[in-house]
């Protein structure tokens, strides 16, 4: 295995983007192998590398890890982005879980049927602005600190910034600017980094072809 973490996924955001974000926040260089054909995917399956027959998969520290949350938890703990004690870890898990709920809507948006996209876009913005982001704004206001947990930069902050930028929510500008100015994050936001662009038709078609998704996702 490579000395650098190696990421196996599509050349696009999806579930892997949060892993890219966290590695970038930790200042860790990584390599990527993009899935472009069904044969590549079948080879991973036949090799027994995809424990639950799903990607993302990350090779790191002699392991082939699957399940996004497990990968993220490992990276956060390894690079001191997971709090200083059990209580802080529980808070980080809680905040990340809430952000995940919002991001799941956004990740699946490109795969919606065309007639559902306008409606779902409104749902995403409504949920972000009235249900999710106000929670984090209140947390920051109530404890009067710069970061969500323990006044230290953590996985929770990285995950929230990713969501804020995905939704482009103006109410969270202060937090967005503060976290975006952290050197590792600033570098990841610069042109030419391994951050992926907004999913386009090519990305959607590649995912459909490799995973044989011959249907449109329905809006919730």
Give the tens place of pLDDT for each residue, 192-204. 999 998 888 999 9
Counting the structural domains of the chain, the total is 2
What span, in angstroms and rounded, lies between the C-alpha atoms of 24 and 186? 10
Residue 25 lies in a domain: yes
Task: Judge whether residue 79 has pLDDT over 80.
Answer: yes
Strand partners, 32: 7
- According to the model, what pLDDT value does residue 47 have? 94
Task: Judge whether residue 86 has pLDDT over 90.
Answer: yes
The pTM assigned to this predicted structure is 0.81
Residue 121 lies in a domain: yes
pLDDT band at 12 (very low <50, low <70, confident <90, very high): very high
Place of tokens 């919606």: 112
Residue 28 lies in a domain: yes
Q: State the CATH number of the domain containing residue 25.
A: 3.40.30.10
65 and 120: one domain?
A: no
Q: How many CA atoms lie within 13 A of 189 on its CB side?
A: 15
**CA 137, 138, 141, 145 torsion: positive or negative?**
negative
Q: Which domain holds residue 201?
A: 6-79+193-211
13 and 52: one domain?
A: yes
Place of tokens 């982001």: 133
213: region left, alpha or beta (phi > 0 left; psi from -120 to 50 alpha): beta
143 and 100: one domain?
A: yes
Place of tokens 């392991």: 63
Beta strands across the sheet bearing 57-60:
31-34, 6-9, 57-60, 63-66
Least confident of 99-103, 119-123, 180-184: 119-123
Residue 135 lies in a domain: yes
Mean pLDDT along residues 44-53:
93
Task: Judge whether residue 2 has pLDDT over 80.
Answer: no
30 and 69: one domain?
A: yes
54 and 16: one domain?
A: yes
């Amino acid at each position: 295995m490579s000395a650098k973490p190696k990421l196996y996924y599509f050349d696009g955001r999806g579930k892997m983007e949060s892993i890219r974000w966290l590695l970038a926040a930790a200042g860790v260089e990584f390599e990527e192998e993009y899935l472009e054909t069904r044969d590549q995917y079948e080879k991973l399956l036949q090799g027994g590398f995809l424990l639950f027959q799903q990607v993302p998969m990350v090779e790191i520290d002699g392991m082939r890890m699957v399940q996004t949350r497990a990968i993220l938890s490992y990276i956060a703990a390894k690079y001191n982005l997971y709090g200083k004690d059990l209580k802080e870890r529980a808070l980080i898990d809680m905040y990340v879980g809430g952000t995940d709920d919002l991001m799941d809507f956004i990740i699946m948006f490109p795969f919606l049927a065309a007639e559902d996209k306008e409606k779902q876009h409104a749902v995403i913005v409504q949920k972000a602005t009235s249900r999710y982001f106000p929670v984090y704004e209140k947390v920051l206001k109530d404890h009067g600190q710069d970061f969500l947990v323990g006044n230290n930069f953590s996985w929770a902050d990285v995950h929230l910034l990713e969501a804020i930028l995905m939704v482009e929510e103006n109410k969270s500008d202060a937090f967005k600017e503060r976290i975006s100015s952290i050197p590792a994050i600033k570098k990841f936001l610069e042109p030419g980094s391994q951050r992926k662009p907004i999913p386009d038709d090519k990305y959607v078609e590649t995912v459909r072809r490799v995973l044989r998704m011959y249907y449109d996702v329905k809006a919730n």
